């Protein structure tokens, strides 16, 4: 089912004794969720993800705007009549009921022609339990299940009424790392098998990247970017999005563009074609660095870590925002560790200490940059500035 959000806004009154402006948890959202897709709402704590989900489910009423399910305006339709299945971070299972009765619970009070016999309910519950692979646990109580199994029961309970839309609010937060991975794959599989349009809330970018068809990146109630996961990573529209996605995180430097040269600090990092001249922030993905004796970016080396296939070079630079620059030299760059070491060895700089006059050694490493992994942002607006490498 296609979902459309039109000028959707939710304001909460500021309850602080000193007064102040309302909190705009969801600020003028306009987007479409195509039928059968899984959309990830991604952003830091407090950015409005849960509020957006609650507006879709009917648990919250919008201050302005409309919501359409398959063209039908459901903004004023009560939650129970919207045909949505909800799964929260806390599984909220009934402890005294078996798995079977927890799953059949939403079916017990169906009225009119939807009313089901006990047998029909049990059959439906078993069918849904098979989908989430807990059909062998039907007689257990929640306390006799692992966290992952409990969350599957919660998902089965949300699915048993065959909702038109499935809404998941941080469903994996209570699971340990291994189970998180496994359960997110499961959710993806179940979503594909059922074809139910699904909205998945998370603050974990890796989680959103791995299971979503589209990601909505949010900050302070404002949409920053809506795109396919790979596009959000490869083509971030602003500095916030660039920083929010990627592990290890993007390296951010203070720089400038002057007459076709991109400077990082005072280093002439790259020749570019760009309409902009002035102060910028420069983001470089860890995989965007190439150790090169003649490279324009000169960093102080602090370490080399070999991690299986890849080698990670740790360095610092005075124009870098964070502490350590993490660059990853992948096997596709065909640079052997010995070569990197050669680069390092050839670059032992000798300088005199300004106070003592004694000789100090600084190991430096020079990098050239992969233009497609370099992003330039306006220092004021933090919006992406397009450029071409020359
Ligand atoms: P988290 O990841 O921490 O759950 P979130 O992105 O889901 O955060 P929301 O819970 O949607 O964020 O909250 C968005 C903003 O709206 C926050 O500033 C929050 O304090 C505020 N807010 C949420 N619910 C209410 C409410 N009932 N009354 C007042 N303010 C609220």
Residue 52 and residue 192 in one domain: yes
What is the mean predicted confidence (pLDDT) over 133-150? 92
Mean pLDDT of 246-273: 96
On whether both 258 and 239 belong to a single domain, the answer is no
- Do 239 and 271 sit in the same domain of this protein? no
Least confident of 125-134, 215-224, 293-302, 359-368: 359-368
Are 21 and 87 in a shared domain? yes
| Same-domain pairing of 296 and 211 | no
Residues 230 and 254 in one domain: no
Cα torsion for 2, 181, 95, 84, to the nearest 10°?
Answer: 0
Name residues contacting ligand 1 (CB within 6 A).
12, 23, 25, 43, 45-51, 203
Taking residue 385's Cβ as centre, other Cβ atoms within 10 Å add up to 18
Q: Which CATH number belongs to the domain containing residue 228 in this structure?
A: 3.40.50.300
- 239 in the same domain as 259: no
Average pLDDT in the 291-311 region? 86
Going by alpha carbons, the residue nearest to atom 20 of ligand 1 is 46
Determine the atom of ligand 1 nearest the C-alpha atom of 15. Answer: 29
Q: Which atom of ligand 1 is nearest to the CA of 14?
A: 29
pLDDT tens digits along 67-114:
999 999 999 999 989 999 999 888 789 999 999 999 999 999 888 888
Q: Please give the pLDDT value at position 281.
A: 98
Measured from the CA of 13, which atom of ligand 1 is nearest? 29
Protein residue whose Cα sits closest to atom 27 of ligand 1: 12
Mean pLDDT score of the chain: 89
Q: Give the domain extent around 123.
A: 3-243
- Which residue, 226, 243, 260, sits at the end of a domain? 243
Percent of the chain with pLDDT over 90: 69
Q: What are phi and psi of 161, to 5 degrees?
A: -85, 10
Length reported for the chain: 390
User: 36 and 121, same structural domain?
Assistant: yes
Q: Which atom of ligand 1 is nearest to the CA of 60?
A: 27
Confidence of residue 305 (pLDDT cuts 50, 70, 90): confident
Same domain, 280 and 209: no
Centroid of ligand 1 to alpha carbon of 45 (angstroms): 8
Q: For residue 347, is pLDDT > 80? A: no
Is residue 107 located within the same domain as residue 229?
yes
Q: Which helix (H) or strand (E) segment is 107 a member of?
A: helix 99-108
Q: Which of 243, 265, 289 is the last residue of a domain?
A: 243
| Ligand 1 nearest-atom number relative to CA 47 | 6
Among 204, 222, 243, identify where a domain stops. Answer: 243
Atom 19, ligand 1: which residue's CA is nearest?
46
Residues 119 and 16 in one domain: yes
Give tens-digit pLDDT for 33-63: 999 999 999 999 999 999 999 999 999 999 9
Start-to-end C-alpha separation, the chain: 46
Using one digit for the tens of pLDDT, what is the confidence trace for 114-136?
Answer: 889 999 999 999 999 998 889 99
Closest protein CA for atom 28 of ligand 1: 12
Count up the domains in the chain and report the number. Answer: 2
Question: Nearest C-alpha to atom 16 of ligand 1 is from which residue?
Answer: 25
The model's pLDDT over 176-204, given as tens digits with 9 standing for 90+, comes to 888 888 888 888 988 999 899 999 999 99
pLDDT at 339 over 70: no
Q: Are residues 227 and 185 located together in one domain of the fold?
A: yes
* Interval between CA 12 and ligand 1 midpoint (Å): 9
Classify each residue of 294-326 as buried b or exposed e, where b means 16 or more C-beta atoms within 10 Å of its C-beta.
Answer: ebbbbbebeebeeeeeebebbbebebbeeeebb
């Amino acid at each position: 089912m296609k979902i459309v959000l039109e000028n959707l806004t939710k304001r909460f009154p500021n309850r602080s004794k000193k007064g102040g402006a309302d909190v705009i948890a969801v600020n003028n959202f306009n987007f479409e969720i195509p039928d059968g897709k899984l959309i990830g709402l991604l952003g830091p704590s407090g950015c409005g993800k849960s509020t957006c989900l609650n507006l879709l489910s009917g648990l919250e009423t919008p201050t302005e705007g409309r919501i359409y399910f398959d063209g039908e305006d459901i903004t004023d339709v009560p939650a129970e009549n919207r045909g949505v299945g909800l799964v929260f971070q806390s599984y909220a299972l009934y402890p005294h009921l078996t798995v079977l009765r927890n799953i059949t619970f939403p079916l017990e009070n169906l009225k009119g022609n939807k009313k089901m016999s006990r047998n029909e309910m049990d059959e439906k519950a078993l069918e849904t339990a098979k989908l989430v692979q807990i059909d062998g646990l039907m007689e257990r109580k929640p306390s006799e299940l692992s966290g992952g199994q409990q969350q599957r029961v919660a998902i089965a309970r949300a699915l048993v009424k065959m909702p038109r839309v499935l809404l998941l609010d941080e469903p994996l937060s209570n699971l340990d790392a291994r189970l998180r991975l496994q359960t997110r794959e499961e959710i993806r599989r179940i979503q594909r098998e059922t074809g139910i349009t699904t909205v998945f809330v998370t603050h974990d970018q890796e989680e959103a990247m791995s299971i979503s068809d589209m990601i909505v990146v949010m900050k302070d109630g404002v949409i920053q970017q809506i795109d396919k996961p790979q596009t959000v990573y490869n083509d971030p529209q602003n500095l916030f999005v660039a920083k929010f996605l990627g592990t290890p995180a993007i390296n951010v430097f203070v720089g400038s563009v002057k007459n076709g040269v991109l400077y990082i600090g005072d280093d002439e990092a790259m020749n570019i074609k760009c309409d902009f001249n002035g102060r910028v922030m420069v983001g470089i993905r860890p995989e965007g660095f190439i150790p090169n004796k003649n490279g324009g970016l000169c960093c102080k080396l602090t370490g080399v870590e070999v991690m299986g296939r890849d080698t990670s070079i740790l360095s610092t630079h005075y124009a870098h925002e964070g502490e350590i620059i993490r660059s990853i030299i992948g096997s596709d760059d065909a640079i052997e560790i010995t070569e990197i070491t050669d680069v390092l060895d050839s670059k032992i700089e000798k300088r005199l200490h300004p106070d003592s006059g004694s000789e100090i050694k600084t190991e430096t490493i020079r990098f050239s940059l992969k233009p497609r992994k370099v992003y330039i942002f306006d220092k004021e607006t933090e919006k992406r500035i397009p450029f071409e490498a020359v």
